[in-house]
Amino acid sequence: PPARHLFSDPAEMAALRRSLLAWYDECKRDLPWRALAATEPDADRRAYAVWVSEIMLQQTQVATVINYYNRWMQKWPTLQALAQASLEEVNELWAGLGYYSRGKRLQEAARKVMSDLAGRMPRTAEDLQKLLPGVGRYTAGAIASISYGQATGVVDGNVIRVLCRLRCIGADSSSPAVIERLWDMANALVDRSRPGDFNQALMELGATVCVPKAPLCGECPVKQHCQARRRKLFGKPTPVPDVEDCGVGDCPLCPPAAEPWDSSLGVTNFPRKAAKKQPRAARTATCVLERRGCHGAPEYLIVQRPSSGLLAGLWEFPSLPLAQGLQEEKQREVLADHLQAWTGQPVVAGGLRFIGEVVHIFSHIHQTYVVYSLSLDGDVTLDPALSPSRWVTEEEFRASAVSTAMKKVL
Ligand code: SF4
């Protein structure tokens, strides 16, 4: 690619590293996993602490993760402790954090380290990615650089944004060709003596200064190296020797010719992404079955979802996916038949009380729960041949491994 999209001048790269690290030392946020990684002398324990935080932070905001992270590390302070936990316990602690397979995979990987690797964590990004389920290229790079000091770069959403702006990369940043370029760039840029801090600094810059909508360019420690800012201020990037190779429509890293630089957007011209696919719409009938418990308090029936697929192993009110365009009367009938199988009692469709609808957006599904309720009297025998099920009080329900969507339903 043309030189404007690369880092090729060693002096500039060294200056950028210095500025970024100095800023990080002064301005970084206090986060529990950073405190742990900084004070823990044992590298494998450090790696575990970083690993847990990185998995939790995938797709989830820092502010939400902190509480979950602290509870997790209190309950399972080491990999050994996590390997001995049950999946039910993991799901319970993870409840509300979303993307539930992350917790499950983390625990599977911990077990694998204990059983197949004699309790020793792999120590390079390549081995971490190869040997641990659920550890992708980014997480492997983060663990290896922060915990073991390997001079390897990382590329996540924040790094993509910062690098695309620093080097005016406007081609689709989710395309494999651009991602590969960014990895090359991150690996070339990473500071050899402080790789973990450098990677965290680059991500921190993206999270706090070079933010998506209104970046704080005036406060940015690397602004003098930023091509997007130059372009905004002076109308063009820094002249570089082969700049004429670029911007003629066939550059693989420039914005597409059909959507050129938009001066009203400034630096937020970068990065660019191809349009996202719309989430698929789905409807599910769900019924809150209620009975009086032994002390007169209401109890609710929850059933466990299959161990694979969406919300694997989590608990929910008995639910049934609905075919598109099913009339309300028909909905009640299919739901009543379904409930009859759970409770072993005849359930009359007309007895189901319609409560309302709950919408929950999963990453790829726009899910509407059509919520009914039904009170049951007397003894109810649950069919043990069906999936696991149990009666819970409201308090027990909230402490169970249930999704945020089901809490909304209740
Ligand atoms: Fe991001 Fe602005 Fe800094 Fe460039 S100068 S890296 S656009 S915050």
Classify residue 323: in a domain, yes or no.
yes
Do 297 and 201 lie in one domain? The reply is no
Classify residue 329: in a domain, yes or no.
yes
Catalytic residues: 54
pLDDT of residue 5: 84
Classify residue 272: in a domain, yes or no.
no
Ligand 1, residues 158, 160, 204, 209: which to mutate, most atoms within 8 A of Cβ? Answer: 209
Residue 241 — very low, low, confident or very high, per pLDDT cuts 50/70/90?
very low
Residue 246 — very low, low, confident or very high, per pLDDT cuts 50/70/90?
low
Which atom of ligand 1 is the closest one to the Cα of 221? 3
Which atom of ligand 1 is the closest one to the Cα of 223? 5
Do 74 and 197 lie in one domain? The reply is yes
Highest mean pLDDT of the ranges 2-6, 15-19, 311-315: 15-19
pLDDT of residue 69: 97
Last residue of a domain, one of 175, 192, 209: 209
pLDDT of residue 304: 92
- Please tell me the distance between residue 271's alpha carbon and the centre of ligand 1 in angstroms: 12
Q: Which residues line ligand 1 (CB under 6 A)?
A: 162, 165-166, 209-210, 215, 217, 220, 222-223, 226, 228-229, 267
CATH number reported for the structural domain that contains residue 31 in this entry? 1.10.340.30
Do 204 and 285 lie in one domain? The reply is no
CB-based contacts of 340, cutoff 8 Å, min separation 6? 346, 347
Residue ID of nearest Cα to ligand 1 atom 2: 217
Which atom of ligand 1 is the closest one to the Cα of 209? 8
Name residue 168's amino acid. C
Classify residue 269: in a domain, yes or no.
no
Do 89 and 188 lie in one domain? The reply is yes
Lowest mean pLDDT among 14-18, 233-237, 302-306, 355-359: 233-237
- Please tell me the distance between residue 111's alpha carbon and the centre of ligand 1 in angstroms: 42
Do 163 and 18 lie in one domain? The reply is yes
CB-based contacts of 202, cutoff 8 Å, min separation 6? 20, 154, 158, 159, 162, 186, 189
Do 284 and 166 lie in one domain? The reply is no
- Please tell me the distance between residue 217's alpha carbon and the centre of ligand 1 in angstroms: 5
pLDDT of residue 222: 98
82 touches 106 (CB < 8 A) = yes
CATH number reported for the structural domain that contains residue 297 in this entry? 3.90.79.10
Whether the per-residue pLDDT at 295 is higher than 90: the answer is no
- Please tell me the distance between residue 194's alpha carbon and the centre of ligand 1 in angstroms: 22
Residue 243 — very low, low, confident or very high, per pLDDT cuts 50/70/90?
very low
Residue ID of nearest Cα to ligand 1 atom 1: 210
Last residue of a domain, one of 209, 231, 263: 209
Structural domain span for residue 399: 280-408
Do 67 and 179 lie in one domain? The reply is yes
Do 37 and 180 lie in one domain? The reply is yes
Do 194 and 295 lie in one domain? The reply is no
Classify residue 258: in a domain, yes or no.
no
Do 202 and 292 lie in one domain? The reply is no
Which atom of ligand 1 is the closest one to the Cα of 206? 1
Residue 82 — very low, low, confident or very high, per pLDDT cuts 50/70/90?
very high
Do 203 and 105 lie in one domain? The reply is yes
Q: What would the mean pLDDT of 25-32 be, rounded to a whole number?
A: 96
Taking CA atoms, 100 is separated from 97, 129, 267, 330, in Å, by: 7, 20, 36, 32
C-alpha closest to that of 212 among 138, 270, 274: 270
Residue 182 — very low, low, confident or very high, per pLDDT cuts 50/70/90?
very high
Query: Mean pLDDT over all residues of the chain?
Result: 90
The pLDDT > 90 percentage for the chain reads: 68
Classify residue 168: in a domain, yes or no.
yes
Classify residue 38: in a domain, yes or no.
yes
How many folded domains does the chain comprise? 2
- Please tell me the distance between residue 277's alpha carbon and the centre of ligand 1 in angstroms: 28
Classify residue 49: in a domain, yes or no.
yes
Whether the per-residue pLDDT at 294 is higher than 80: the answer is no
Last residue of a domain, one of 183, 209, 235: 209
Gap between the Cα atoms of 276 and 99, Å rounded: 19
Do 79 and 203 lie in one domain? The reply is yes
Ligand 1, residues 223, 227, 233: which to mutate, most atoms within 8 A of Cβ? Answer: 223
Pick 82 or 338 by higher pLDDT.
82
Residue 310 — very low, low, confident or very high, per pLDDT cuts 50/70/90?
confident
